[in-house]
């Protein structure tokens, strides 16, 4: 039991250390040219994980810490896996979530009772226009290669078509509302 507690404490210490370093890494000028938050977060996560792993292995080799190599690898892998889930679910949602904007707006103006029209107007005027959400999303899709700029417009790429087909397959397999994958075709009034 003592051995288990000791290993658990080591894992917790490594996890906390990695988490602190990961949070600090966002404030450093690392990968700042990456405009897509998700990609920057993954690169930072890889960097922190590799640096912590190398540091712990080095400290183990010079006998400054009592931990075996398996536990070093496993603890860093656990940190990496948990952070990938957090990046994918929490951080990316905070970076782009419509729902987060709506409830944050209501929190900021908590004495006001919003109508549906006010919520829509504030979303369009602040989130989309003032904060440049559409520009940011278009740039992200260009960077990922799912759309391309053609003159003054944009068009889906072959990579984008493949991605949409994969998403449609996933929405057929799992009970996900697929309406965003099947918008109505353009009509002349919309152009």
All residues at 6 or more sequence positions from 49 whose CB lies less than 8 Å from its CB, including other chains:
18, 76, 79, 80
pLDDT confidence bin for 172, thresholds 50/70/90: confident
Q: Does residue 191 lie within any of the structural domains?
A: no
Any domain includes 123: yes
Question: Residue 144: which domain range?
Answer: 106-181
Going by the DSSP 8-state scheme, the letter that residue 179 receives in this structure is: G
> Would 56 be classed as within a structural domain?
yes
Query: In this predicted structure, what is the pLDDT of residue 184?
Result: 84
Is residue 141 within 8 A of residue 132, CB to CB? The reply is no
For residue 153, give the H/E element and its range: strand 153-156
For the chain, give the longest Cα–Cα distance: 73
Is the pLDDT higher at 5 or at 181?
5
pLDDT confidence band for 111 (50 / 70 / 90): very high
Q: Which of 170, 171, 148, 172 lies closest to 159, judged by CA?
A: 148
Residue 188 has pLDDT above 70, yes or no: no
186 part of a folded domain: no
Are 142 and 173 within one domain? Answer: yes
Q: Give the 3-state secondary structure of residue 125.
A: helix
Residue with the bigger pLDDT between 96 and 47: it is 47
- List 93's β-bridge partners, or say none: none
Domain-ending residue, one of 96, 120, 148: 96
Phi, psi of 97, rounded to the nearest 5 degrees: -80, 130
Whether residue 177 sits in one domain with residue 116: yes
The 10s digit of each residue's pLDDT in 119-135 is: 999 999 999 999 998 99
Q: How far apart are CA 23 and CA 55, in angstroms?
A: 18
Q: Are residues 148 and 73 in the same domain?
A: no
| Averaged pLDDT, 41-48 | 96
Top mean pLDDT of 75-79, 172-176, 184-188 is at: 75-79
**Which pLDDT band, with edges at 50, 70 and 90, does 24 fall under?**
very high
Domain assignment present for residue 101? The answer is no
Statement: residue 191 has pLDDT above 60: no
Confidence bin at 3 (pLDDT 50/70/90): confident
Instruction: Specify if 189 maps to a domain.
Output: no
């Amino acid at each position: 039991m003592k051995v288990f507690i000791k290993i658990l404490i080591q894992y917790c210490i490594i996890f906390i250390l990695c988490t602190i370093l990961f949070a600090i890494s966002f404030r450093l000028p690392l990968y700042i040219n990456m405009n897509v938050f998700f990609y920057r977060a993954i690169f930072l996560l890889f960097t922190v994980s590799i640096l912590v792993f190398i540091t712990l292995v080095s400290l183990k080799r010079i006998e400054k810490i009592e931990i075996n190599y398996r536990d070093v690898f496993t603890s860093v892998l656990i940190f990496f896996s948990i952070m990938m889930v957090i990046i994918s679910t929490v951080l990316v949602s905070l970076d782009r979530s419509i729902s987060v904007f709506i409830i944050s707006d209501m929190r900021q103006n908590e004495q006001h009772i919003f109508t549906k029209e006010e919520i829509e107007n504030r979303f369009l005027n602040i989130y989309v226009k003032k904060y440049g959400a559409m520009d940011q999303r278009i740039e992200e899709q260009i960077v990922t290669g799912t759309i391309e700029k053609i003159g003054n417009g944009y068009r889906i790429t072959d990579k984008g078509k493949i991605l949409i087909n994969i998403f449609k397959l996933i929405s057929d397999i799992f009970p996900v509302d697929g309406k965003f994958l099947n918008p109505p075709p353009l009509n002349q009034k919309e152009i």
